[in-house]
Amino acid sequence: MIALVANPTRAVYAALIATLAIGWALVAFDGGTFTLNDLVGIQQRSAALGIVAVGQTLAILAGSLDLSVAYLISLVSLVAAETMAGQSSNILTAVVVALGVSALVGLVNGVVITKLKVHAFIATLGVALVIRGVLDHLYDGPAGRVPVDFQQLGYARIGPIPVAAILWAAVAAGVWFLLRRTRFGHRVYAVGGDVEVARLSGVRTDRVVIAAHVLCSLCAGVAGLLLASRLGAGAPTVGTDGGYDLESIAAVVLGGTALAGGRGGVAGTVGGVLLLAVLDSVFNQLEVNSFFKDVVRGVVIVVAVAVYARRTGRRAS
Amino acid sequence: MKRAIPIFVVLAGLLVAIAAANPFFLEPAGFLAFLKRVAPLAILAAGQYFVIVSGEFDLSVGSLVTVEVVVAARLIDGDEAMTWPVLVLLVVIGLLVGLVNGLVTTKLRVPSFITTLGAMLILSGAVFLWTGGAPRGALSQGFRVFGREGVWAVAILVLVVVAAVLLMRADFGRTLVAAGDNEKAARLSGVRVDRVRVFAFVLSGLSAAVAGILLGGFAGVSAQVGQSLEFQAITAVVLGGVVLGGGRGHVVAAIAGAFTLEALFTLLNLHGISGALEYAVQGVIIIAAVAVGGLRLPSLRLSPSKV
C-alpha cells in the first residue's frame, strides 16, 4: 500500500481500479449492470475534459495555470461552426481557423505572463473575461452549423472505441512524448521546478512558458472542435457549462501533478480524468442526485491531494 | 503603503469621472447608494486580503455567500422572530467553513487553491441538495434591513475596515505578512505560521458571512447571488497592489481595489457599455493595472527615500 501511494501516478490508477470495482459492485447490488456500453460512455464523456486537462498539465507543469480554457472552448466551438456553415468543404478551413484562434489566445496568455510579468491567475482570468465579453457581445445562443461529416468526430466509433477517445489518446500520447522525450519537455520541468535555476542554466524560460500556454490553448481548441461536432453547432456556454476551467485543474491535481509546477505528468492526468468520469458514471447508474455528486467530487479531490501531500512531505523531511 | 498609491490615484480619477458624468453621484443619496453597492465586495476583499497576504487563496467565498443567503431564506421563511438566531448561525457557518479550509490547508498540507476549490464544490452541492435544487423561503424585513438601508451597510463597512486595520497593526498582522513573505524565516523566528494562516481563513469565512447577509438584503435570494464573487474579490485585492503569493500589500489598498472595481462598473454603465462588453473592458483593465503595478515596483524600491 505504501509503495502504491509513494507514486501519485500509481496511486491514482490504484484508486481508479478500486473505484471501478466498488462501483461495479454497488451497481450490481442495486440490480443494474455495468456493461461495455457504459465503459464506452465513460470514454465518450471524458474525452473533452481529458483533452483540456492534458493541455492544462503542460501549463501547470511549467509553473503556470490557465483559467481561460472554458471561454476559449465556447469561442472555438462558435468560430468552427460558423466557418463550416454546414458545408463539408469548409471543414479544413474551419479547423485551421479554430486552432489559429486558440494558438493566438495561448500566445496572449503566455506573453502577458512572461513579458508583462502578470501572475498567471490574473492574466488568464483577464483573458477569460475578455473572451467572455466578446462572446456575450456577438452571440445570444447557439450559432453556425456543423456538417454531418464533421459530427462523425463526436459520435463515430471504430469497433467499440469512440473516435473521440482515440483523439484524446492521441493528444495525450503526443504531449507525453513531448514532455518525456524532447528537450522542450525537460525545459518545462526545469522551469516549473525553479525558474531562477532554469534561467541560470541557460534555459530561455519565457519561451518555454509561452510555448506551454500555446499548446494548452491548442488542446482547449481541439476540445472545442470536439464539442462543436457533438452539438452540431457552436454554443456560447458550452465551455462554462462543463466547468472546464476549474474541472481541468482539479483533474490534473487529482492525477498527482503538483500545482506549484515541476512535478507530475500526463499519465497521472489521464488517470485523474478517468477517475472523475467513472465516479460520474457510477452515480448516474445509481441515479444519485447531481448535487450530491458535486459534494463527493469535492471531497475526493481534497482527500486525494492530502494523501499525496503526506507522501511527498515525508520524503522531503 | 507605497505600493498602494497608484490604486488611490486611479480610484480618485474614476470617482471624478463618475461625478462628471452623473452629478447625482455627488449628492449624499447618490454617494450612499454607491457605498451600499460596494460594501459586500469591499468586505469580501478585506477577508480575501488576509488569506492572500499570508500566501494562500480562498476560492470558496463565492459559493459560501450563496450558501449563507440560501440557508437564511430557508430557515427564516418570512418569520421575523427567526432573524437574530439565523444571523448568529450564518456567522457560525462562515467561521466554521473558514476553520475547515484553514485546517485542511495547513495540517493536511493541501494547496489552498485545491482546498477551497473542493470547498466550493462541496458547499454549493450540499446547499442545493438540502433545498432540492432551487432556493426556497423568504428573508424577513429585519434581515433585509442590513443590505437595503444604506446607513446599516455603511456602518458595517466602516466597522470592517477599522477592524481590519487594527488587526493588521496588531501582532497578528505582522506575523501574517511575515508568514506570507518567507514562511521558513517566519517559522524560525517563532511565528506560529499554521495558526495565523488558519485565522486568516477564518476571517475570510467571516467576511463571506457578512457579505452574504448584506447581499441577501440588497440583491435578494437567488442561486446566483455569490457567483464569481471569489474571482471579483481576488481581482480587487490584486488591483490594490497586493501580491499573489503573499508578503506584500496593505489591507486598505485591497479594500480600495474593491471600490475601484465597483467604480469601474458604475462608470462603464454610465457610458452605456453595460453587460456584454463590460467583461472585456474589465479583463483588459485588470491585466493592464497589474502589469503597470509590476513594472513600477522596481523604481520604487530603488529610491526608498522618495514618495
The domain ranges of chain A are 2-316
Q: Which residue of A has its CA nearest to B286?
A: A126
Residue A301 to residue B290, Cβ atoms within 8 A:
no
Of B111, B124, B128, the CB nearest to A259: B111
Quick one: cell of A140? 445570444
B228: Cα within 13 Å, side-chain hemisphere: 10
Tens of pLDDT, residues A51-63: 999 999 999 999 9
Tens of pLDDT, residues B236-270: 998 898 888 888 899 999 999 999 999 988 888 88
Of B114, B234, B279, the CB nearest to A129: B279
Tens-digit pLDDT string for chain B (307 aa)? 566 777 888 899 999 999 998 888 888 888 999 999 999 999 999 999 999 999 999 999 999 999 999 999 999 998 889 999 999 999 999 999 999 999 999 999 999 999 999 999 999 899 888 888 788 888 998 899 898 888 899 999 999 999 999 999 999 999 999 999 999 999 999 899 999 999 999 999 999 999 999 999 888 888 888 888 999 999 999 889 888 888 889 999 999 999 999 998 888 888 877 667 778 888 888 888 888 766 544 434 333 333 3
- Hey, how many other C-beta atoms are within 10 angstroms of the C-beta on A206? 16
Q: Count Cβ atoms within 10 A of the Cβ of residue B27 and give its class: 0-12 exposed, 13-18 middle, 19 or more buried.
A: exposed
Q: Which residue of A has its CA nearest to B120?
A: A298
Of B121, B278, B282, the CB nearest to A297: B121
Q: A31: helix, coil or strand? A: coil
Q: Count Cβ atoms within 10 A of the Cβ of residue B73 and give its class: 0-12 exposed, 13-18 middle, 19 or more buried.
A: buried
| A162 strand-pairing partners | A157
Of B129, B279, B286, the CB nearest to A292: B129
- Hey, how many other C-beta atoms are within 10 angstroms of the C-beta on A225? 29
Q: What is the ipTM of this complex?
A: 0.86
Q: A161: helix, coil or strand? A: strand
- At residue A242, what is the residue type? G
- Hey, how many other C-beta atoms are within 10 angstroms of the C-beta on A155? 14
Residue A309 to residue B108, Cβ atoms within 8 A:
yes
Probe site for chain B from A122, A132, A137, A252 (most B CB atoms < 10 A): A122
Is residue A6 predicted with pLDDT exceeding 80? Answer: no
Q: Which residue of B has its CA nearest to A291?
A: B125
Residue B286 to residue A129, Cβ atoms within 8 A:
yes
**Considering chain A, what percentage of its residues have pLDDT values greater than 90?**
64
SS3 content of chain A, % helix, strand, coil (to 5): 80, 0, 20
Of A128, A249, A302, the CB nearest to B115: A302
Residue A298 to residue B108, Cβ atoms within 8 A:
no
From the list A103, A85, A107, A106, the residue with the least C-alpha distance to A94 is: A85
Separation CA B243–CA B180 (nearest Å) = 10
Q: A162: helix, coil or strand? A: strand
Residue B291 to residue A250, Cβ atoms within 8 A:
no
Residue A133 to residue B277, Cβ atoms within 8 A:
yes
| pLDDT for the residue A106 | 98
Separation CA B224–CA B65 (nearest Å) = 10
Separation CA A295–CA A275 (nearest Å) = 15
**Cβ–Cβ < 8 Å for B50, B278:** no
Residue B234 touches partner A, C-beta closer than 8 Å: yes
